[in-house]
Amino acid sequence: MKLAIIGQGYVGLTISAFAGEFFDVVGFDNNIDVVNRLNSGISHIEGVQDSILQGWIEEGRYKATADGNEISEADIVIIAVPTPLTEERNPDLHYIDSACKTIGQNLRKSALIINESTSFPGTIRNYIKPAIEKYSKRKLEHLYAISPERVDPGREDYNQKNTPRLYAGLTPEATAKTRDFYSTFCDNLVEVSSPEIAEAAKLFENTFRQVNIALVNELAQISHALGIDVRETLDAAGTKPYGFMKFAPSAGVGGHCIPVDPSYLADVAEKAGVEATFIKRANEVNLDMPKYIARRIEIDNGGSVKGKKVLVVGVAYKPNVADTRETPAELLIDVLQDSGAVVSWNDPVVGTWHGTESTPLSGADIAVVVTKHDVVAPEDILKSAPYVFDTTGKVKGAVQL
Ligand SMILES: NC(=O)c1ccc[n+]([C@@H]2O[C@H](COP(=O)([O-])OP(=O)(O)OC[C@H]3O[C@@H](n4cnc5c(N)ncnc54)[C@H](O)[C@@H]3O)[C@@H](O)[C@H]2O)c1
pLDDT digits (tens, 9 = 90+) for 320-361: 999 999 999 999 999 999 999 999 999 999 999 999 999 999
C-alpha 77 chain-centroid distance: 22
pLDDT of residue 22: 93
What string of DSSP letters covers 205-233? HHHHHHHHHHHHHHHHHHHHHHT--HHHH
The pLDDT, as a whole number, for residue 160 is: 87
Q: Is the CB of 84 inside a 6 Å radius of any atom of ligand 1?
A: no
Check pLDDT > 90 for residue 155.
no
- Return the best residue to mutate from 13, 26, 29 for the ligand 1 pocket (most ligand atoms within 8 A of CB): 29
100 catalytic per annotation:
no
pLDDT tens across 258-307, in order?
A: 999 999 999 999 999 999 999 999 999 999 999 999 999 999 999 999 99
Q: Which residue in 229, 219, 365, 391 sits closest to 296, CA to CA?
A: 391
Would you say 42 and 13 are in contact if contact means Cβ atoms under 8 Å apart? no
Instruction: Examine the pLDDT at 154 and tell me if it is beyond 80.
Output: no
Nearest residue to 9 via CA among 120, 91, 110, 84: 84
At 62-97, the pLDDT tens digits run 999 999 999 999 999 999 999 999 999 899 999 999
Q: What is the mean pLDDT of residues 200-224?
A: 98
The three-state secondary structure class of 138 is coil
CA torsion 244-247-249-254 (nearest 10°) is -150
8 A C-beta contact, residue 124 and residue 115: yes
Q: What is the mean pLDDT of the chain?
A: 96
Give the pTM: 0.92
SS3 content of the chain, % helix, strand, coil (to 5): 40, 15, 45
Is residue 46 very low, low, confident or very high in pLDDT (cuts 50, 70, 90)?
confident
Query: Looking at residue 30, what DSSP letter applies?
Result: S
What is the Cα–Cα distance from 115 to 89, expressed in whole angstroms? 22
* CA-closest candidate to residue 149, choices 135, 138, 160: 160
CB of 29 sitting under 6 A from ligand 1: yes
Q: Which residues contact 219 (CB under 8 A, 6 or more apart)?
A: 230, 233, 234, 249
pLDDT over 90 for what percent of the chain? 95
Q: How confident is the model at residue 47 (pLDDT cuts 50, 70, 90)?
A: confident
